[in-house]
Structure 1
Amino acid sequence: MGIMTSSPLGEPLSTNLIERYLCSRGKRYFRGRHDGEFFFVANAYPRRLHVHLEISLEHPCVFTIRVTPAYFFPAADQARLAQFADLWNTRNHAVTAIVHGSSDPQRVGVTACNSQWIPSLVRFNEFADTVDRALDAAVDLFGELTPVAGLPQPTEPLLLDAG
């Protein structure tokens, strides 16, 4: 069986489209709790980023990309992080930076998010370019964020790579 290609007119947003994107980029990925949810880890040296790609269950024409670093920040940095996110969001539109709480009251998180409404057909290359731009912007966001939050640069991974 050969690789399926999209029609010159495009194709609807689907799990097949997302899986073809992930395979075309050589990503090892996991399926989520529901059919339209995917997860992979991106190496953005010196850090790893957790990437979620999802088709909304409630709105099947909405595709969302969420990227988070593999760490949280001290809650004491929340105001500084929020100020950074506001500045980022006024200058950049490929992803929105969101500062949020965590289950640990001593920590806060930052998420890079992009949602697209895809009501009709989309060409594979256009879809792939959109995802690539969002991922590149998330890498830039977290690259700029590390010095702002005052985190030390990791020298060795905390856990060995299982794959």
Structure 2
Amino acid sequence: MNTAIGVQLTKSYLQTRQVRYFRGHHDDEFFFLVSAYHGRLHVHLQPSGPSGAGVHISIVAERYYPEEERAQVAALVEQWNVAERGVTATVFDSSDPRLVGVLAEQRYRARDGEFGSFIDQVVQSAIDLFGRLRALAGSPTHLLDAS
């Protein structure tokens, strides 16, 4: 699979699912928003690997978590990573030292099966993760806007 095929798979997925999508900052990068019961998730799809032989899927929430909760957030992410098969989550620093974020990601390769089902499963896993994080953080007012 080359970059053109990765882009073609991505566009086909977005059109089939009738998702309103946007172009990313990088060539051949696309993103869309998913509304979940705990807020919106930003889903990025970009060709990856040698000659674009795969698609990198990364998902972040629209909210960040207070730095003082980093240990709790990291513990939940670690626990989730152990239980989850395939999707990996990491805690990252934001440009605001008072906040931390969480990134869920996975790579698609042709041997991973049907592209649409694969992406759907990654998104469902992220919805689960960010729902758990929302419950950990407590009320929505405790979370801080990423902007």
TM range (shorter): 0.7 to 0.9
Q: Which has the higher strand share?
A: 2
Instruction: Show the counterpart of 1:5.
Output: none
1:48 Cα deviation (Å)?
0.6
Structure 2 residue matching 1:72: 3-state secondary structure: strand
Paired amino acid for 1:100:
F
1:35 Cα deviation (Å)?
2.9
Q: Which has the larger radius of gyration?
A: 1
Q: Give the 4+ runs in structure 1 shifted more than 4 A.
A: none
User: 1-side partners of 2:58 and 2:38: how far apart?
Assistant: 19
Instruction: Show the counterpart of 1:53.
Output: 45
Instruction: Show the counterpart of 1:139.
Output: 127
1:21 aligns with 2:13: yes
Q: 1:92 aligns with which of 78, 84, 88?
A: 84
User: 1-side partners of 2:94 and 2:140: how far apart?
Assistant: 22
1:117 aligns with 2:109: yes
1:4-83 equivalences under 5 Å are 13-56=5-48, 59-83=51-75
1:146-161 equivalences under 5 Å are 146-150=134-138, 152-153=139-140
TM-score, length basis structure 1:
0.77
Aligned length: 140
Q: Can you give the 5+ residue segments of structure 1 that lack an aligned partner in the other structure?
A: 1-10, 159-163
1:31 Cα deviation (Å)?
1.2
User: 1-side partners of 2:129 and 2:6: how far apart?
Assistant: 28
User: 1-side partners of 2:60 and 2:25: how far apart?
Assistant: 18
Assess if the C-alpha contact under 8 Å between 1:94 and 1:133 holds in 2: no
Assess if the C-alpha contact under 8 Å between 2:6 and 2:54 holds in 1: no
Larger CA deviation: 129-138 vs 11-20: 11-20
Assess if the C-alpha contact under 8 Å between 2:41 and 2:62 holds in 1: yes
Q: Can you give the 5+ residue segments of structure 2 that lack an aligned partner in the other structure?
A: none
